[in-house]
Amino acid sequence: MPAIDQSGMRRLNTAATLRVLTDASGTLTSADLVAQTRLSRRTIELIVGDLIAQGWVDEADSPAPTTAGRPKKYYRLVADRATVLSVGINPPLVRAVVADLRGREIARAEGPSGTVADTLDSALRLASEALAQANVDPDHLHALVVGLGGTFSPDGVVLTSPVDPEWVGVDVREPFARRFDVPVVVENDTNLSALAARAEGPARGEQTFALLMPGIRVSAGVVINGELHRGFQGAAGELVRLPDLRDANHRGLLAQISSPDERERVDARAHLRRAIDGDPAVREDARAFFDAVARVVAVLGWVIAPPVIVLVGGFEGLEDGTLALLRDALSTMDAPDIDIRVAALTPDFPVRGGIQLALDIAGATIFDPRR
């Protein structure tokens, strides 16, 4: 019988214990850790001692008054022992957010976009500013995600851009990888919005769904069995490339409902409110827009067949009326019966999704028993 690799087993048990502490909403006792890891009390005591020495865990006060007898020890994760960085390039703003191992925002920096070169320079500067504001050890940064519109090669070169053709051919990943010595991933911003919707938004907990952002860009983020579906060259969901859908969605003020410019979203929302209220002056505009959206929903429904489709845009306070207009358009089509949800899309969705993706990347190392 081959000898047991005691060192490997210790790393495996340490990774499992650290994962339990990370997933916990509060403090845990040794007994809690024993129950959840199924390790012996002595093993847990040794592992927790190591994690405290390494700065991953500290002792916490008792959440309730202690009674007679030996007091229990409570432990909690030092969440900012590992941090991630999410950078969102979503003109007219660039955002950089530092988050801890639980996804809690620690610091952020924002600034305007400009030309491609200026925007990249701004994104790098803001990323450094956010890390400085976070006041955490640079060695504790574990992953960085950059989100923007378009499709990208595996090494982060822009293949297509719905925002500005000047981005095509730009290596977005390289300057970040040169400045920050961590894994860097460049991802489509709608895909990142889908991850945010699953983690903390209208698709919370869903394993398979599609997030659809109608309007000028017409894009979708698809999650299948908990994983992003990117497709060939990352083009899955880039429906803006289909001329008939693009042209249909470009018509009228409602096309600005998912614009990154807040002023345009406000104007589109006012237009949508009039349509919901039955204003005949905007009826045809609304019908054309929602017919186009319904066609996309039907295509997604039949081709991907997700149980849930989330429609996102500047729909704050108008979710129910928007859903009614969409269902009316769908009633004339042979579309599958799908749970359709309408939600507001905040400018923070892509950067929040970037945090989720960065945490997944970091976790592959932090919770790897081979580390």
SS3 letters across 181-194: CCCEEEEEHHHHHH
The reply to whether 151 falls in a domain is: yes
Q: What are phi and psi of 157, to 5 degrees?
A: -90, 135
Q: Determine the Cα–Cα distance for residues 89 and 146; give it in Å rounded to an integer.
A: 7
Return the pLDDT at 242: 46
- Band (pLDDT 50/70/90 cuts) for residue 322 is very high
Q: Which of 77, 99, 125 is the last residue of a domain?
A: 77
336 and 237 within one domain = yes
Q: Which domain holds residue 49?
A: 6-77
Residue 243: what pLDDT? 47
- With respect to residue 199, please indicate whether it lies within any of the assigned structural domains: no
Q: Which helix (H) or strand (E) holds 200?
A: helix 189-200
CATH number for the domain spanning 36: value is 1.10.10.10
pLDDT bin (cut points 50, 70, 90) of residue 73 is confident
**Residue 268 and residue 254 in contact, taking contact as beta carbons nearer than 8 Å:** yes
Same-domain pairing of 220 and 180: no
Please compute the mean of the pLDDT values over residues 178-186 and round it to a whole number: 96
- Average pLDDT score over the chain: 88
pLDDT for residue 5: 63
- Same domain flag for 53 and 115: no
Among residues 51, 77, 103, the one where a domain terminates is: 77
In a domain, 371, yes or no: no
Lowest model confidence (mean pLDDT) among 66-70, 343-347, 360-364:
66-70
Long-range pairs of 219-226 with CB within 8 A, sequence gap ≥ 24: 219/149, 219/162, 219/188, 219/190, 220/190, 220/296, 220/300, 221/188, 221/190, 221/191, 221/192, 221/193, 221/194, 221/195, 221/197, 222/194, 222/300, 222/304, 222/306, 223/194, 223/195, 223/198, 224/304, 224/306
If asked whether residues 209 and 335 sit together in one domain, one would say yes
Residue 155 counted as domain residue: yes
pLDDT by residue (tens digit) across 9-27? 888 888 889 899 998 888 9
pLDDT at 7 over 80: no
Instruction: Confirm whether 252 is domain-assigned.
Output: yes
333, pLDDT greater than 90: no
Does residue 3 carry a pLDDT above 60? no
pLDDT beyond 80 at 203: yes
Which pLDDT score, from 0 to 100, does residue 1 have?
A: 43
Pair 101, 128 in one domain: yes
**Number of structural domains in the chain:** 3
CA pair distance 116, 15, nearest whole angstrom: 41
| Same domain as 169, residue 227 | no
pLDDT value for 164: 86
* Phi, psi (deg, nearest 5) at residue 60: -120, 160
- Write b or e for each residue in 244-276: b if 16 or more Cβ atoms lie within 10 A of its Cβ, otherwise e: ebbebbeebbbbbbbbbeeebbebbbebbebbb
Q: Do 212 and 321 fall within a single domain?
A: yes
Boundary (domain end) residue, out of 77, 102, 128: 77
**pLDDT confidence tier of residue 108, bands split at 50, 70 and 90:** very high
Residues 114 and 246 occupy one common structural domain: no
- pLDDT at 55 exceeding the cut of 50: yes
Task: Indicate whether 233 and 162 sit together in one domain.
Answer: no
Instruction: Indicate whether 212 and 296 sit together in one domain.
Output: yes
CATH no. for residue 263?
3.30.420.40
Quick one: 20 and 154 in the same domain? no
